[in-house]
Structure 1
Amino acid sequence: MEGGSSAGGRRSWSIYGRVEITARYEILEGIGSGAYSDVYRARRLSDGLTVALKEVHDYQSSLREIEALQALRGSSNVVNLIEHFWQDGEDAVLVLEFFQTDLATVIKEGKRRDGGIGVGDVKQWMLQILCGVDACHRRGIAHRDLKPSNLLIGADGVLKLADFGQSRILNAFEQVPTNEEWMPDPPTTDQEVNQSSVEGYENQTSQELRPLNEEDYLQQLDGFKKRHVTDDTDKESNLQDGDVSCLATCSTGEMEEDPDKGSYFSVDDESAEHESGAFTSYVGTRWFRAPELLFGSTNYGLEIDLWALGCIFAELLSLKPLFPGTSDIDQLAKVISVLGDLNEESYPGCSKWPDYNKISFNKVEIPISLEACLPNRSPSEVNLVKRLVCYDPASRATAMELLLDTYFTEEPLPTPLSELNVPSSKKAHDEGPSGEFNGYANMESDSDLEEFGHMDVSNTEKGFSIRFS
């Protein structure tokens, strides 16, 4: 990234004054700023490597990001945590890979270019995103804030998931067994994908005895993806950092000699959180937030990432957000206008969501449909989005299932990494006020009702109900 940003104008003196950091890194410029973190471009003095330093001002966010990235170490489509600095009385500083751009910039440039983003490029981006999400979900990690600006891209075309400050690692005792020796590798993203390679992924076997086959894994994952751990601390750390993660928010932590020691699979360390029995519904960026979250559900797991994935894929295909709500109420209205009424008939159990009986909308006689939202796209492309953007969380396709979709074996095949159209950099003029990027600055949760037209408010046994018309 060339040029500075708002973060460059207001130095966080804590990082500049920390000798353990400045002795190893030259801080070059600020590249992102938010309420809970500041990100800098830096140079490692030992070898000149360009890195991103992410100074996180929130304890829980720091802990979650470090633990998640430690658990995901070695994943080819998850940002690499080089090391981290954290001591009593100081903010955590994560040393991360530096990336020149992100998927939000790819989409933005696609709008400006005749022909948009080629189908082969779209498939290659999708494959890499799926591989990154699959790596997270195999390890029981819910990212909880997937969006284009958190999908970073290097000059070589490699895409990596970043910004794990809102992530949660599910209860260790509920985790799906994942023996990496038997798990089939997804189709390589740097070579042409053909039917034989996908069949090899689907049917790969080993001469060694396996503890679990792919069918068993998918069955367990189906039941696993809706499990959750308690998370009372979420209520105190609802991070809304805009796009501070842009270009640099991935992080990893220095690994302990014993990788399983006192870390991300410990249940006792978070026993205080386990008393509440639920997650917070206030996670993710609004345009990519699943309906159950918008209705206040705290009983969810990996499937909220799958909804976000569908919204990202739709934006890649249409070059515009699928559900660009201006508030939480408007977000729900846009979802319902496309998918139709959300009720016990379309998704049994939705009436149990905390806010379901407090907010109601007029019946949608003829939904807009996803086909209409994705004009000029093939049935295979629309079907891919449909498998993710659906009301019933248990019906959303897993990342592994989508990696096996025939869409990726149809012509045109995914573009090889070396031939991808990668933006040269994230330009300063793409930034908005306060270091916010790509128009995602105003998607944080709110419940501003003033912008809506007529609404009827009535008292109910459980409180009140609002009906919009």
Structure 2
Amino acid sequence: MESPTSSKSWSIYGRKEITTKYDIQGKIGSGAYSDVYRAHRKSDGCIVALKEIHDYQSAFREIEALQTLQNCPNIVVLHEFFWREDEDAVLVLEYLKTDLASLIREAKKNWNGGISSGEIKRWMIQILHGVDACHRNSIAHRDLKPSNLLISDNGVLKLADFGQARILLEPGFVASAEDLEHDERNAASQGQLSTLQQPEVIIKDSNEQACVNQEQDMLTKEELFRNLVEQKAKAAATEDTDKDSNNPDGDNSCLATCTASEIEDDILKGSDTYEPDEGGDDTYGPLTSCVGTRWFRAPELLYGSTNYGVEVDLWSLGCIFAELFSLEPLFPGTSDIDQLSRIFNVLGNLTEETFPGCSNLPDYNMISFSNIENPVGLEACLPNHSPDEILIVKKLLCFDPASRATAMELLHDKYLSKEPLPVPTSELRIPLTKCDADEGSPGNWFDYRETGSDSDFDEFDGVNVMKTNSGFSVRFD
């Protein structure tokens, strides 16, 4: 465990409002914009995760998404949070010690026969319930992958890491009595009905510190919270961006940003780049295509779309489900160009026939590939799997976002109700701990977060760069 005097941990250890309530036991994870600590809650001995987020936008999005979804059994629980004007936000989350990535790795190494069909179906059902809760509330997670699907000791899977989530519309969903009854039955079957502690906001300015909890007026809390965010937003008005995988967002798509510096500096310095509508989709700024993790990123994002919806999550689900079946990532691209190439080799080229309107994507006319006459198909990627198993993946991995099956549609899919039936949650096999990837192994989990450049042009037989009226185009043969 990390020493309290470590340069990266002094902040949280020195915050008395946190240390008076929690014994911080050490850092257990770190990302581009956050650090996660294991802690012991003094009041009742509960083990929690403290997530210190260093980026105000990521913190705001995660807090708002988790508050909106706080009654959903398959969403990680936010117990409370701390946020001072001059400090990073610290979220107090339920502690879940393993994830689906670790389960897949454990199954590949030690489970003869892999993950059984009954287990896969139960995992799918839980993932779909979590995703459906997000989408019913107009929340796009935008970074679904196995390592963001956490698992409790009793087999309950929960969506986590909402730092890239966006509420695409004002949350207008009102649960019907039938929905609430369904959620209660689902929660009861998983043994997860519990009383949630409402988040605590701590805001400090030069004159006073205010502590707000559920016993006080909700409007007051919202006003204070919004005021804090507005202050931070003003300070960062010139960098109103989405955060992605160590990449600055700018106004460019992933292809335009990542491949540009690898082609020809002189050409690209003078080229025009696509700029999303500054009107944006809401008060959080314009959407960006540089979100999520490459292996699970939808084609429209890889081609620079900034006009997308929750369907980008459905593509990610298709990649996750395929990995549950095969225990291998479906499209482990080494760059955005390689990612597209792998997708096209399996599914065929992206055309107006397969995705009406795709020619209007920002980078569609900038990046082109040779025609693939005989794509290998998903069947070749999932050998020894039934047509029903392959079909459920196909329903998600559609080029046209409008054709992707929704989470609710898949929850009613006949595949999940056929023999072998989903096993009870209590019978799921679970890794004892979260395991790290094997050092040096190809495509390990740490490679999921790209470093911000695409330098694999020499992997292709031919690369043609041509100047155009709008800048340049690249063709891969």
Question: Shorter-chain TM-score category?
Answer: 0.7 to 0.9
Select 2:300's aligned residue among 274, 292, 296. Answer: 292
What does residue 122 of structure 2 align with?
124
CA distance in structure 1 between the partners assigned to 2:117 and 2:357 by the alignment: 38
Indicate yes or no: 2:170 matched with 1:178.
no
What does residue 93 of structure 2 align with?
96
What does residue 25 of structure 1 align with?
22
Select 1:239's aligned residue among 234, 237, 244. Answer: 244
Q: Is the 8 A contact 2:245 2:449 kept in 1?
A: no
Q: Cα–Cα, structure 1 residues 278 and 350, in superposed 2: closer, same or farther, change >3 Å?
A: farther
Question: Which moved further from structure 2: 127-136 or 7-16?
Answer: 7-16
Question: Which moved further from structure 2: 297-306 or 449-458?
Answer: 449-458
Say which SS state the counterpart of residue 185 (structure 1) adopts.
Answer: helix
Q: Cα–Cα, structure 1 residues 191 and 357, in superposed 2: closer, same or farther, change >3 Å?
A: same
Q: Is the 8 A contact 1:62 1:92 kept in 2?
A: yes
CA distance in structure 1 between the partners assigned to 2:468 and 2:384 by the alignment: 46
CA distance in structure 2 between the partners assigned to 1:92 and 1:74 by the alignment: 22
Say which SS state the counterpart of residue 236 (structure 1) adopts.
Answer: coil
Q: Cα–Cα, structure 1 residues 304 and 128, in superposed 2: closer, same or farther, change >3 Å?
A: same
Q: Is the 8 A contact 2:331 2:339 kept in 1?
A: yes
Select 2:38's aligned residue among 19, 38, 41. Answer: 41
Select 1:331's aligned residue among 312, 315, 339. Answer: 339
TM-score, scaled relative to structure 2: 0.77
**Alignment map for 1:246-265 (pairs within 5 Å):** none
Tell me the CA shift for residue 100 of structure 1: 1.4
Tell me the CA shift for residue 432 of structure 1: 6.4
Equivalent AA in structure 1 for residue 319 of structure 2: C
What does residue 114 of structure 1 align with?
112
Deviations 1:293-335 (A, max 9, x none): 0000000010000000110000001101111000000001111
Q: Cα–Cα, structure 1 residues 339 and 430, in superposed 2: closer, same or farther, change >3 Å?
A: closer
Q: How many corresponding residue pairs?
A: 395
Higher relative contact order (CA 8 A, sep 6+): 1
Indicate yes or no: 2:133 matched with 1:135.
yes
What does residue 84 of structure 1 align with?
81
What does residue 413 of structure 1 align with?
421
Tell me the CA shift for residue 449 of structure 1: 4.0
Q: Is the 8 A contact 1:189 1:417 kept in 2?
A: no
Where structure 2 has 5 or more consecutive residues not aligned to the other structure, the ranges are 191-236, 248-277
User: RMSD between aligned alpha carbons?
Assistant: 2.8
Tell me the CA shift for residue 60 of structure 1: 0.3
Q: Is the 8 A contact 2:294 2:448 kept in 1?
A: no
Q: Cα–Cα, structure 1 residues 233 and 340, in superposed 2: closer, same or farther, change >3 Å?
A: farther
**Alignment map for 1:342-381 (pairs within 5 Å):** 342-381=350-389
Q: Is the 8 A contact 2:465 2:472 kept in 1?
A: yes
CA distance in structure 2 between the partners assigned to 1:309 and 1:88 by the alignment: 37
Tell me the CA shift for residue 348 of structure 1: 1.3
Tell me the CA shift for residue 461 of structure 1: 2.5
Indicate yes or no: 2:472 matched with 1:464.
yes
Say which SS state the counterpart of residue 182 (structure 1) adopts.
Answer: helix
Tell me the CA shift for residue 11 of structure 1: 3.9
Q: Is the 8 A contact 2:318 2:394 kept in 1?
A: yes
Say which SS state the counterpart of residue 178 (structure 2) adopts.
Answer: coil
TM-score, scaled relative to structure 1: 0.79
Q: Is the 8 A contact 1:282 1:445 kept in 2?
A: no
**Alignment map for 1:36-75 (pairs within 5 Å):** 36-75=33-72
CA distance in structure 2 between the partners assigned to 1:441 and 1:378 by the alignment: 29
Tell me the CA shift for residue 35 of structure 1: 2.4
